[in-house]
Structure 1
Amino acid sequence: MALDLHLSYAPGVARRGVPARTSFTAWVDAALSVARRRRAAELSIRLVDADEGRALNRQYRGRDYATNVLSFPAELPPGVVLPLLGDLVICVPVVAREAAEQNKPVKHHYAHMTVHGVLHLIGHDHIEEADAERMEALERKALAGLGIADPYV
């Protein structure tokens, strides 16, 4: 499967402590693999600060706080077939704070947020309990394949 990953950093986002592009690529691949998506894929990941994360969460979800990851699936017109999955926005300070609170390596939390976000981009959700169980099982499988412990323990 060909993967075209666009990674960008918002102005002012410190890159210290943020995993390398190769890590994000591996995490996206892992998510797509456990979901059995084998076709070409293209997506963007934007790493943002708390202000931008909060503004996007407020604008698109009506929630006035910065959250760890936001997923924006591509909405292609009928009949248009492209490998575009959509965009992920990962809030750097929220991921760092949550990793510290959960006493886990920050890189592992980035992996979890990336896998979680990619699964949203390809149609998985966790609103209903049964859907949440399916999605979390895929997350666990993808992360285990990367040598990362169950994030829900």
Structure 2
Amino acid sequence: MRGLWSAALLVLILDQASKWAVVWGLNLKDRLVIDVAPPYLRFVMGWNEGINFGLFSGAPGAARWILIALALAICAWVIRFARADGQRRVLWAAGALVGGALGNVVDRLRFGAVADFLNMSCCGINNPFAFNLADVAVFTGAAALVLWARPANTP
């Protein structure tokens, strides 16, 4: 279980530090766009009140608390699932997912929305969406769980 908590804490710290450095340190909240290596990497300020790709944003204030509760419930389920599996790599993958989810929960508690700022485009495809390191950790952690977790009832 130490791997799960280590990964979760590492992701949470990296996520919150990156948001502080870019959103406040580089003043992206007021500048709104910073071209780092266009079009491959731009910092674009976005406050996501909903879920992925802004779905359900603009919903009543209660939605914020529902999304926080849902994220915490999913974290609890993932922790239980990873403990039952027991493989080191599964615990680390679960930790990445949990740390990312908690990073976004911290944003919702502090600001009422998730701070997104990474925007990447390539090869003639213009990506209109922004994301953050927590989103990357949630996605990679979930993908790793799908690939590495043992099927149910398997020794």
Please indicate the TM-score interval, normalised by the length of the shorter structure.
Answer: 0.3 to 0.5
- If asked which structure has higher relative contact order (CA below 8 Å, sep 6+), I would say 2
Greater strand proportion: 1
Greater helix proportion: 2
Taking structure 1 as the reference length, what is the TM-score of the superposition? 0.33
Which structure has the bigger radius of gyration?
2
